[in-house]
Amino acid sequence: MRGGGWFLVAAVSLVFPPLRCQNRSREETRTEFPRSAAAEADFCSFREKFHRNYELNTEEFNRRHLYFQDAIKRAAYLNSFPAAPHSAKYGINQFSDLSLNEFRDLYLRASADKAPPYSGEKREGLPAKFDWRDEGVLAPVQNQQACGSCWAFSVVEAIQAAHARAGSPLEQLSVQQVLDCSFRNQGCSGGSTVWALSWLNQTRVKLVPQSEYPYKAKTGICHFFSQSHGGVALKDFAAHDFSGQEEAMMGQLVSCGPLAVTVDAISWQDYLGGIIQHHCSSQHANHAILLIGYDTTGDIPYWILQNTWGTKWGNEGYAYVKIGGNICGKYDPCWFIYMYF
């Protein structure tokens, strides 16, 4: 079973009796892997907390247990770097029983596109901290589930924020529509934010409300709507490489609104919260996300990113990444939209 498997299991978990950790250890020690009692208890509480009901002593159980042990080792390595008090912490989260490949296949499905370096002016007089959550233009943290749709989420979230900034009431727009209809992209198997934007810009497709075209975490058949159907269409956009120009990116964030950015999120499988300062190391961007703010008032200045992995991940669904040093390599499109009603 590939990565989708555990989600299916989670979805049917209610038909199983609830897991009881305390008294499982005797059964579990019959499995072929020698394990310490502590590691045993950890894996058990993990399964209980995240509702994993794979059966004891099956191939899947043993495999997930090995991935879980790998996650503990990775977290120990990531936590071994000298760290300031607000630095990122790594450990057990909902992704700890996925192999690295499964995590990549499911969650890191944004392709990195080439974009021209940003060449605009730096904005003077930026506030020391800024957060679009204070401006009422953001929907709550979403969960893409077992579908590589980050690229569609970041584009749609940026457009709905731009729409709200233009004076309309905040309305969630359909991510599923972009997943199903954006033809150069591959739905749940991944895509590019720039291609999705180019498609929206070329076709002037109107994004309908999420309530009319709900998210299914599966690629489906594109639904068409008549020209007279209400929705939000893109008028134009810009995409830039902001490598080495983080101050200019701050200016764009404040002037343009939340930005769809692509980052290297390889170490985010084990992230528990705090400010990420190292380990964006795979050298290419693989995850699309929404950049919503920054804070330069503390010891470590950081970006605030709204992720789509649910509120149990990171800082209640948000990632903090150190500003300076171009830690995760971002570029951004800046948004200009046009609305039809």
Ligand X SMILES: *[C@@H]1O[C@H](CO)[C@@H](O)[C@H](O)[C@H]1NC(C)=O
Contact residues: ligand X, CB under 6 A: 20, 22-23, 198, 201, 236-237
The torsion angles phi and psi of 277, rounded to 5 degrees, stand at -125, -15
The Cα–Cα gap between 59 and 81 comes to 35
Smallest separation (angstroms) from ligand X to the CB of 198 = 6
The Cα–Cα gap between 14 and 322 comes to 40
The Cα–Cα gap between 90 and 78 comes to 6
User: Which residues have a Cβ under 8 Å from the Cβ of 17 and sit 6 or more positions away?
Assistant: none
Smallest separation (angstroms) from ligand X to the CB of 22 = 4
**Given 93, 181, 287, 334, the catalytic residue:** 287
User: Which residues have a Cβ under 8 Å from the Cβ of 113 and sit 6 or more positions away?
Assistant: 192, 193, 194, 195, 239, 262
Please identify, using beta-carbon distances, which residue of 20 and 73 lies nearer to ligand X.
Answer: 20
Q: What is the DSSP letter of 17?
A: P
* Catalytic (active site) residue 150: yes
Smallest separation (angstroms) from ligand X to the CB of 332 = 13
* Catalytic (active site) residue 181: no
**Given 44, 147, 150, 328, the catalytic residue:** 150
Please identify, using beta-carbon distances, which residue of 9 and 238 lies nearer to ligand X.
Answer: 238
The Cα–Cα gap between 129 and 277 comes to 19
* Catalytic (active site) residue 287: yes
Smallest separation (angstroms) from ligand X to the CB of 290 = 19
Active site residues: 150, 287, 307
